[in-house]
Amino acid sequence: MTNTTPPPAAGSAPPPASRPDARTALGWLHTAKFLTTAAQLHHLPAVQVPEIAFVGRSNAGKSTCINTLTQQKQLAFASKKPGRTQHINLFQLGKQNTTDAVLADLPGYGYAAVPKQDKIRWQQVMANYLVSRDSLVGIVLLCDPRHGMTELDEILLEVVRPRVEQGLKFLVLLTKADKLTRSEQARALSIARLQAGGGEVKLFSALKRQGVDEAAQLLWQWAHPEDQESGAAASPPA
Ligand code: GDP
Say how far apart CA 54 and CA 66 lie, in whole Å: 8
Give the residue-averaged pLDDT of 86-93. 92
CA 213 to ligand 1 centroid distance, Å? 18
pLDDT at 18 exceeding the cut of 80: no
Give the residue-averaged pLDDT of 192-201. 89
For domain 22-150+157-229, give the CATH number: 3.40.50.300
Q: What is the pLDDT of residue 5?
A: 42
Question: What is the value of pTM for the model shown?
Answer: 0.88
Which atom of ligand 1 is nearest the CA belonging to 79?
4
Q: What is the pLDDT of residue 11?
A: 44
CA 158 to ligand 1 centroid distance, Å? 25
Q: What is the pLDDT of residue 3?
A: 43
Ligand 1 pocket test, candidate residues 62, 64, 103, 209, most atoms within 8 A of CB: 64
Residues of the chain with pLDDT > 70, as a percent, come to 84
Would you state the torsion angle of the CA atoms of residues 73, 52, 17, 99, taken in this order, to the nearest 10 degrees?
Answer: -80
Alpha carbon 64 to chain centroid distance? Answer: 12
Say how far apart CA 142 and CA 145 lie, in whole Å: 9
CA 60 to ligand 1 centroid distance, Å? 6
Say how far apart CA 93 and CA 98 lie, in whole Å: 8
Q: List strands edge to edge, sheet with 88-93.
A: 33-38, 88-93, 101-105, 51-56, 136-143, 169-174, 200-203
| Across 137-146, 149-158, 165-174, least confident range | 149-158
Pocket around ligand 1 at a 6 A CB cut-off: 56, 58-64, 108, 175-176, 178-179, 205-207
State the pLDDT confidence band at 132, using cuts at 50, 70 and 90: very high
